[in-house]
Amino acid sequence: MKLEVQSVRKTFVENGQTTIALDDLTFSADAGEFVTLIGPSGSGKSTAFNLITGLTMPDQGNIILDGQRINGRTGLVSYMPQRDLLLPWRTIRDNVIIGAEISGQARSKAYQRAEELFPLFGLEGFEKAYPSALSGGMRQRAALLRTFLLGKGTMLLDEPFGALDALTRYDLQQWLLGVWERFKPTILFITHDVREAVLLSDKVLVLTPRPGKIKLEVRIDLPQPRDDSSVEFIKLQSMLLKALQER
């Protein structure tokens, strides 16, 4: 699904003070494209995700999904926040179908689809385990499977690997690329890691400090798998770091 964010502005008022979080935010993600947002803390990345998911309304501008205006409409995209939010009293099998259940899918159908995908998501044999028995990386896999089972063509991933150690993070980055290349959902990804952005993305968008708007759009035309020690990779990484550091 093609996603378009058109001239979006969002303000918040607290204790009589107005904060402009986003101003004239405009970008697009084509169907099947992997697009990453990077920017300083407070630049409105998560606010943009809340607008796209319909959890909040823009003050101005529009969110367009496959040509339809979806301002304030929920349930049209999949969203994974930074924390896995697995319920400790439910097995992994029951955790991963929560979103599908809430969206009205039959439990039997959701279970069947989950069973088919457990091997691909590296969770085979852990279906009846509880979250406390899983490593951080496996919990993130379960959270991603839960997001995937919603069956939406557009997925929003908010720093899904930020809390993981470097080795686990690298393994999950490669695994996510494999899942994306197989099913080709449109992915919007937030990270503070410039290397991760270049490693994964078709396109990287750099946001300005608050109020957030697109400062730079960089197309990543390197073939996968990518060599992060190559001259081309390092040049792209340096360009993005420079854009982040400029005020």
Provide the residue ranges of all domains of the chain, joining segments of one domain with +.
1-77+155-160+183-247
What was the pLDDT predicted at 4?
A: 97
CA distances from 5 to 49, 68, 187, 202 (A): 11, 12, 14, 17
What is the 8-class DSSP label of residue 11?
E
What was the pLDDT predicted at 104?
A: 84
- DSSP letter string, 46-62: HHHHHHHTTSS--SEEE
- Within 10 A of 135 (CB to CB), how many other CB atoms are there? 11
3-state secondary structure of 71: coil
**Separation CA 121–CA 92 (nearest Å):** 12
**Separation CA 128–CA 81 (nearest Å):** 24
* Average pLDDT by stretches of 10, the chain with 247 residues: 95 90 97 96 94 96 96 94 91 94 87 93 94 93 92 93 86 91 95 96 96 96 93 97 88
What was the pLDDT predicted at 167?
A: 85
The CATH number of domain 1-77+155-160+183-247 is 1.10.4160.10: no
